[in-house]
Amino acid sequence: GHTGPWEDCEEQDSRSGQAILQDSLRDFSASVYAKLKGSKPRTNLIFSPFSIAVTLNNLLLGARSETRKQLEGALRIPLEFSCVHSETKKLKEVLKDTLRIASAIFYSPEQQLGEAFVNQSKEFYDAVPEKLTNDSNQ
């Protein structure tokens, strides 16, 4: 795996980053809805596409090469859109009073997480990846 951090967002104050993220979230939401609804077309459906996208965006921090391309495609994020994490953080901040978001990443004890991934998960997603254990008290 890689150990380097996600590349910096070059357009920190650009409104275009916000628009790109919003378009991506809209397209991703429609795609997830179509997949979920397709399996049971006559039933009601409640889901949070934003929560799903935020969790997958967090995973994207650790993805490179083909895995990154696949996640970006699934999330409808333009390839190499380096501002996805900073824009997601800004959007979460705007929505914090009206939308509660909970997400977590759990990983196998055999897996080694890079320090950059852990630090950026905290920075952008307020999430600390947790090692899976057999102890139900943890």
Write down the CATH number for the domain with range 15-100. Answer: 3.30.497.10
User: Quick one: pLDDT at residue 10?
Assistant: 81
Burial string for 68-85 (b: 16+ CB within 10 Å, else e) reads: beebbeebbbeeebebbb
User: Quick one: pLDDT at residue 138?
Assistant: 53
User: Quick one: pLDDT at residue 117?
Assistant: 95
Q: The whole model's pTM is what?
A: 0.86
User: Quick one: pLDDT at residue 69?
Assistant: 95
User: Quick one: pLDDT at residue 78?
Assistant: 94
The torsion angle over the Cα atoms of residues 39, 66, 87 and 47, rounded to 10 degrees, is 10
User: Quick one: pLDDT at residue 137?
Assistant: 57
User: Quick one: pLDDT at residue 52?
Assistant: 95
**pLDDT tens for the chain, residues 1 to 138:** 455 788 889 876 677 999 999 999 999 999 999 999 998 889 999 999 999 999 999 999 999 999 999 999 999 999 889 999 999 999 999 999 998 887 889 999 999 999 999 999 999 999 999 999 887 555
The answer to whether residues 81 and 20 touch, using CB atoms and an 8 Å cutoff, is yes
User: Quick one: pLDDT at residue 13?
Assistant: 67
User: Quick one: pLDDT at residue 2?
Assistant: 53
